[in-house]
Chains A and B, each alone.
Chain A
């Protein structure tokens, strides 16, 4: 049917912006997958910046879908979809037709990939805003909304991985069945001419219009993003501030941010200082009163950070112990136990040993810094 494709006339299918978009997107998605699926938690900045890069790439690509050269245009994806049944029939007979640009199955895949990537960017911004209280939506996203978005973000991420596999299988199929060098084509832009494509009128790229659109979009995004970026994070508490609390409680352990336990737990703690986690930590009645008032006024119920929301779910057996909460245990379950016994950390309760921003109550992923505990002889 197709004859020896290598001898056929070569045509320019993918213009430079489309090729650049493709490979930059590949790189950004690899960064996202590595940091998103495998961490570590303090690589969040990489994850976020690769996400912003994907958003910018998608915006540019959508504009190029309007003003790019023929095979980069978005409307070709939709018209190709009309041939999908015929194309699938051809694939089943192992004799698919050679289309210039995206074939019908590929067009469906591209539309799906773009939609899933857009949804990943959107849910990612919500998660960042509501759980970490960072990014453009930090000032307007409640934790509960972000928690839902996190579930969606995860499902979408797995879907994207499945689609990437589908995309690669599709490319391999076409390369094997039609002997079209698709990978080289996405690098050089040149591919053998499809037999039936002779009479097509090819629309040229409109780079000036594209550049103007991109500049205009950038202005709109900046106009929206600038005021949003100055918002204070929704429900982010004040850092530990009570002088007496820091002096008395901070004498033996780091000054736990009041938002890390609910009111009921703080009341239990302040009511049993003579039996305080294995020690007598008695205070004068006046000190107990002032510290109790401070803790009550700034307890987990008053904040909307991730720790405040999740640590509210205290252990029923040990409602005073932060490290007994299901959330704390889940967050720390991959750390080897000897980390907590090392001289620099000493106790699971020593949050500030690894969380550099512990006193703010934020516990940002980026501020996790686990001291090197691998050296011998560090244990007590």
Chain B
């Protein structure tokens, strides 16, 4: 019993530190995006989860016809699994469901590049990316 408790304590501690580490990496990505946002617009103050949410749920339809919205593949619920048009499962975007979301800068850059092109027909601004991540981190 005692041993099990110690094990549990250690396990939750290591889980917690892994999460903290993931959060650090996400914060670094956000800090980088914030710097870019300020460079693009000196009036920029902070990212907004609400703007990110509206951005995620919008249907810009300015990109490729098969992908009018983020929700085409990710569904309207960030905590739910999505599905690509080819049938592959997509893990939830919400950080509460998929803790390592937005922790790999290279991966984040690649998918924003592709998916903004597919859905919006253009690259996303640093402010849009930061709002998006901030919203998903709060979910």
A, B assembled together: yes
Interface residues of A (CB under 8 A from B): 250-254, 274, 277-283, 343-347, 349-350, 353
What are 20 A-B pairs at a CB distance below 8 A? A251-B88, A252-B86, A253-B88, A254-B87, A277-B85, A278-B67, A279-B66, A279-B67, A279-B85, A279-B114, A279-B118, A280-B64, A280-B113, A280-B114, A280-B117, A282-B114, A346-B83, A346-B84, A346-B87, A353-B87
**In the assembled complex, B65 has its CB within 8 A of some CB on chain A:** yes
Given A253-B86, A274-B117; 19 other pairs, CB 8 A cutoff: A251-B88, A252-B84, A252-B85, A252-B86, A254-B87, A277-B86, A278-B65, A278-B118, A279-B118, A280-B115, A282-B113, A282-B117, A344-B87, A346-B84, A346-B86, A346-B87, A347-B86, A349-B87, A353-B87
- Given contacts A278-B65, A278-B66, A278-B67, whether A345 and B118 have CB atoms under 8 Å apart is no
Asked if B86 and A350 sit within 8 Å, CB to CB, the answer is: yes
Q: Does A253 contact B114, Cβ atoms closer than 8 Å?
A: no
A250 to B84, CA, bound (A): 11
- By the criterion CB–CB under 8 Å, are A347 and B113 in contact? no
Q: Give chain B residues whose Cβ lies under 8 Å from the Cβ of A279.
A: 64, 66-67, 85, 114, 118
Which residues of chain A are near B65, meaning CB under 8 Å? Answer: 278
**Size class of the B contact interface (CB-based, 8 Å):** 10 to 19
CB distance from B90 to the nearest CB of A (A): 9
Partner of B85, one of A254, A280, A282, A346: A346
Is chain B's interface secondary structure helix, strand, loop, or mixed overall? Answer: loop
Which residue, A280, A282, A345, has most C-beta atoms of chain B within 10 A?
Answer: A280
Known: A279-B67, A280-B64, A282-B113. A350 touches B87 (CB 8 A): yes
Interface residues of B (CB under 8 A from A): 64-67, 83-88, 110, 113-115, 117-118
A277 to B85, CA, bound (A): 10
| Chain B residue nearest to A256 in the complex (CB) | B86
Q: How far is the CB of B117 from chain A (nearest CB, A)?
A: 4
The answer to whether B114 touches A347, judged by C-beta atoms less than 8 angstroms apart, is no
Report yes or no: B117 in contact with A254, Cβ–Cβ below 8 A. Answer: no
How many Å from the CB of A311 to the closest CB on chain B? 17
- Contact check, B86 vs A280: say whether CB atoms are below 8 A apart: no
Contacts of B114 in A (CB 8 A): 279-282
- Closest B-chain residue to A254, C-beta based? B88
Complex Cα distance, B86 from A344, in Å, reads 11
For B114, give the chain A residue with the smallest CB separation.
Answer: A280
Q: With A274-B117, A279-B118, A282-B114 in contact, is A253–B67 under 8 Å at CB?
A: no
CB neighbours of B110 from chain A (8 A)? 283
**Which residues on the B side are within 8 Å of A281 (C-beta)?**
114
- A347 and B64 within 8 A (CB): no
**In whole angstroms, how far apart are the Cα atoms of A252 and B118 in the complex?**
13
- Point out the residues of chain B lying under 8 angstroms from A346, CB to CB: 83-87
Instruction: Kindly state the separation between the CA atoms of A253 and B115 in the bound complex, as whole angstroms.
Output: 15
Q: Quote the shortest CB–CB distance from B113 to chain A (angstroms).
A: 6
Do A253 and B118 have beta carbons less than 8 Å apart? Answer: no
Whether B87 and A253, one on each chain, are in contact in the complex, defined by CB atoms closer than 8 angstroms, is yes
Distance A280 CA – B84 CA, assembled complex (angstroms):
13
Asked if A280 and B87 sit within 8 Å, CB to CB, the answer is no
Contacts of A343 on B, CB cut-off 8 Å? 83
A226 CB, nearest partner CB in chain B, Å: 42
